[in-house]
Amino acid sequence: MSEFQHLLDVAREAARRGAALIRSFDRPDPATWQLKGQSDFVTRVDRDTEALIAEALTAAYPESVVQGEELSPEARRGDLVWIVDPLDGTTNFLHGYPAYGVSIAAVVDGELSVGVVADVARDLLYHAMRGGGAWCGERRLAVSATSDPANALIGTGFPFKVPHLLPAYLRHFSTLLLRTSGIRRAGAACLDFADLAQGRFDGFWELHLSAWDVAGGALLVREAGGVVTDLDGNEEIVRQGAFVAGNRAIHAWLMGVLRE
């Protein structure tokens, strides 16, 4: 636990510095936006923030490695691997829509051990440590107690990077929309997981996420009493794929519906 505590302290400070850097930037001119893929933008803000975070993490742990969305997206191996999304919700940031965050996770000997999510626009910092609970500042987080799907609010993300998944996604969407109290999509997965961890959402699903989208927020959900798996129920989530999350009752229900 003491080792994890120091990792957590380092990750929180790096996330604070990254969030502060993002807030220091004006909205970039659209002429400077670079397109990585279908509706998937990257800017100097993303790259500079990732460089700052990576420098802070490796300064504290020189033998560690960083897997980051912009500068080092390939899967990395090591005793300590940091998984970083420097700006989750880049499109929101570019349009001034206040839903974007910084996500940092630490994987120690192959196990997800520390997760930090910074809500940049609201200046909030969420954190979790394996076995230590999930928190926002001094407030401990807990998933909702909602068990009736008809009362559940479900978070999601659109598979805009992989259009071939849209037919399956739309089938899921139409089914869940009619069986729940509503579906919400804000466009920043790390903040969706933070909302789930504190009971604002009761469940969540998305068909295409990368390790940096999931790792930090997933530990928040698990330490708040929730469940995060892939569509087959596997708990190994530090990779690319489709993911389902929720409190225990709604996660189980979502898995059943999506498997239909």
Same domain, 119 and 162: no
Alpha-carbon distance of 36 to 105, in angstroms, equals: 23
Tokens of 149: 């799907």
User: Residues with Cβ < 8 Å from 29, sequence gap 6 or more?
Assistant: none
The bridge status of strand 65-68 relative to strand 80-88 is parallel
On whether the CB atoms of residues 178 and 123 are closer than 8 A, the answer is no
Same domain, 114 and 163: no
Query: Angle CA(153)–CA(188)–CA(254) in degrees, nearest 5?
Result: 35
Q: Report the sign of the C-alpha dihedral through residues 241, 242, 246, 251, in that order.
A: negative
Which DSSP string corresponds to 113-161? EEEEEEETTTTEEEEEETTS-EEETTEEP-------GGG-EEEE---TT
Same domain, 205 and 249: yes
Q: How confident is the model over 160-211, as pLDDT tens digits?
A: 889 999 999 999 999 999 999 999 999 999 999 999 999 999 999 999 999 9
Same domain, 117 and 163: no
Same domain, 105 and 161: no
- The pTM for the full model equals 0.93
- pLDDT beyond 70 at 49: yes
Residue that wins the pLDDT comparison between 141 and 74: 141
In this structure, the number of other CB atoms found within 10 A of the CB of residue 247 comes to: 25
Q: Which domain holds residue 158?
A: 149-259
Residue that wins the pLDDT comparison between 63 and 71: 63
On whether the CB atoms of residues 112 and 130 are closer than 8 A, the answer is yes
**The pLDDT of residue 33:** 64
Q: How confident is the model over 4-38, as pLDDT tens digits?
A: 999 999 999 999 999 999 999 887 777 676 665 54
Mean pLDDT estimate for the chain: 93
On whether the CB atoms of residues 100 and 93 are closer than 8 A, the answer is yes
* DSSP H/E element including 96: none
Same domain, 154 and 131: no
**The pLDDT of residue 72:** 76
Q: How many domains does the chain have?
A: 2
Of 113, 140, 167, which closes a domain?
A: 140
Tokens of 237: 């989530």
User: Residues with Cβ < 8 Å from 122, sequence gap 6 or more?
Assistant: 98
Q: How confident is the model over 110-129, as pLDDT tens digits?
A: 999 999 999 999 999 999 99
Same domain, 56 and 185: no
Of 140, 161, 190, which closes a domain?
A: 140
Same domain, 71 and 103: yes
Provide mean pLDDT across the span 39-51.
Answer: 79
CATH code for the domain of 239: 3.40.190.80
The model's confidence at residue 39, banded by pLDDT at 50, 70 and 90, is: very low
Same domain, 62 and 25: yes
**The pLDDT of residue 37:** 52
